[in-house]
Amino acid sequence: EPDFTDVLAFCGVPTKLFCQVAMETVHVIIESKAPELQIKFPKTEDECLAAACGFQTISYQQAIDTCVCVIDGYHLAMDEPTDAENCVPDEFFSTFDDCYGINIQGASDHQGRFLYLGIGGPGSREDDEALVECPLGDLIENLPGNFCAISDCGYVPTEHVIPMFGDDRAAIPQNKDFNFRAAQCRYQIAHAFGVMVEHWTLLQGTLPCCPTEAWRFVECVARLHNFCMGWGD
C-alpha cells in the first residue's frame, strides 16, 4: 500500500522537509480549538449519564446502564530508541508483540470515538500498569456515582474499572452472561483501534519518531479519527 515514502519519491521532497512540515501540521491540529477536533472525557453527572445511555442502547436488553467508556491498550510500534533519547531501550521492547514501541491507552464511546488516547508508558508495560500511570486512570477513578469503564480481563478491577471475566471464572453462568453483554460494549474500543490503524497507514509499520515526541502524533491521530468518524468515514 502507498505510504509517505511514495510522496517523497513522486514529488522529490527531501525527507527532512517532509518531516518538518508533518510535525508543523500535527502541532496545528493538536492546538486547534475547533469543536469537531476536541477530545472530551465525560466528567459531570449529565455527561456520564449521556455516555451511559449510549452504551445502554447497544447492550442486550439494555442491561449495561452505567458504562461511560470502554478501555483497552494498543502497542504502537517504533524504531529502537537510542541512548541519546534519554530512555532505556529494553523498557520499550514488548515480548508479546516482539518489537519496540510504546503502550497506548484508549477509551471510546459507544460509537467508537475516542474519549481519551494517550501514552501509558514504554512497550513493556502491561495494560493495567499503564492505566495507573497515565491520566486516563485518574479520569476513570474520579467518575461520579456508580459510573464505570468496562475493560478486558487484563485490567485490575477497581471501584470504577469493571473487567470482563477471564480464565475459569468466565465459564460460570452468571459471569458468562455478564461477559456476553459487556462484550457488545467493549467491541467499540477494538473497532476504534481497528479503524484508526486502517485509516492511518503509518501505524501499520514502525513510527519514525522518538518516544518523547510520540504523544503529539498520538493526540493528532485521535483528533483526526474522531473528525472522520463524525463524518461517517
Grid coordinates representing 232 are: 461517517
pLDDT per position as a tens digit, 25-74: 888 998 888 888 889 999 999 999 999 999 999 988 889 999 999 999 99
**What's the confidence (pLDDT) of residue 19?**
73
What is the C-alpha separation between 65 and 55, in angstroms, rounded?
Answer: 7
d(CA 66, CA 185): 11
Q: What is the mean pLDDT of each run of 10 residues along the chain (233 residues)?
A: 66 75 85 90 97 94 94 90 71 86 94 94 91 95 96 95 94 93 94 90 76 82 90 70
> What are the pLDDT digits (tens) for 96-112?
888 888 999 999 999 99
Q: What is the pLDDT of residue 2?
A: 57
Phi-psi region of 226 (alpha: psi -120 to 50; beta: other; left: phi over 0): alpha
Contacts 24+ apart (CB under 8 A), 130-133: 130/73, 130/103, 130/105, 131/71, 131/73, 131/105, 131/155, 131/161
Q: Whole-prediction pTM value?
A: 0.87
Residue 233 CB burial class (10 angstroms; 0-12, 13-18, ≥19) = exposed
